[in-house]
Structure 1
Amino acid sequence: MTTPTQPAELYRHGLRLLLDKNIPAWVDLWDDDGVFEFPFAPDGWPRRLEGKAAVADYMRGYPDHIDLHDIPDLKIHRTDDPGTIVVEMRGVGRLVKSGEPYDMAYIAVVTVTDGRITHYRDYWNPLAIPQDGAADFTGAGGR
């Protein structure tokens, strides 16, 4: 299968890879100089990752921490910039260590250039993570 290059299709493809727990293939969607930002990250958690290698390191343990089952309520909005989309969605599954349910609403602003993610701002709510499950996020996406 050829990897889509348009922002909305590339994003949907990336969600399928996350659901399949194929983190290396998801990271391959990124530009070498891509930036991943978390504007609402709590103290002690990263707010900005610079470069594909940093994204890979951050996401490496994701399936060991979050068992993502579904992405319901996906809405992708196009913007005046053809390379940028705004995404509304929920991620549902469970926290692997505690077994607690995982149900997180997200808004993301994603820019794609030449078929690669160049900028991703992930607006998620760290207060929605169970306090005893917060340690599960060390070294994983969503932390």
Structure 2
Amino acid sequence: MTAGPVEIFERFRAGLAAGEPGLPEDLWAEDAVVEYPFAPDDRAQRFTGRAGYAEFAAAGRAARPAGVAEVRALHRTADPEVLIAEYEVGGAVFVLMLRVRDGLVRHWREYQDVAVPA
């Protein structure tokens, strides 16, 4: 059975709890799109392609603390590829729109409470 958005999100949560923020590179589609619409001005808001995002993520993982993600809500949508997750890590609140097709992340759009550093 191929992983859907709920299973991918649960892998993400498990990684955070294990001290590994982010998802392994092999779970990202080659043409994945990653967006952070509320990113600070000194950081990119959009990445296209697994390789471009992997480079950014590797550099940021050391600076970004991991921890237990407390899920506030998971919203399944009419589209079985899409999940909306509301969660909190270390006091920062996140809303994630996650699209998964064929077991790979195709689109990750994360809104982060910028008042709390993550």
TM-score when normalising by structure 2? 0.86
Q: How does 1:93-132 map to 2 (within 5 A)?
A: 103-129=91-117
CA distance in 2, matches of 1:61, 1:30: 17
What is the distance in 2 between the residues matched to 1:61 and 1:19? 20
Task: List gaps (5 residues or longer) in structure 1.
Answer: 93-102, 130-141
- SS of the aligned residue for 1:87 comes to strand
**Count of residue correspondences:** 118
RMSD between superposed Cα atoms in Å: 2.1
CA distance in 2, matches of 1:31, 1:16: 20
1:53 to 1:21, Cα distance in 2 relative to 1, 3 A = farther
Q: What is the TM-score with the length of structure 1 in the denominator? A: 0.73
2:11 maps to which of 8, 13, 20: 13
Amino acid at match of 1:106: F
Contact 1:27 1:55 survives alignment (8 Å) = no
Contact kept in structure 2, 1:21 and 1:63, CA below 8 Å = no
Q: 1:7 to 1:37 in 2, by over 3 A?
A: same
For each residue in 1:74-99, what CA deviation from the matched residue of structure 2 results, as whole angstroms up to 9, or x when unmatched?
A: 4221001010000000012xxxxxxx
Report the Cα distance in structure 2 between the residues aligned to 1:74 and 1:30, rounded to whole angstroms: 25
Contact 1:36 1:55 in 2 (8 A): yes
Q: Is the 8 A contact 1:74 1:88 kept in 2?
A: yes
Instruction: State the identity %.
Output: 25
Q: CA deviation at 1:16?
A: 1.3
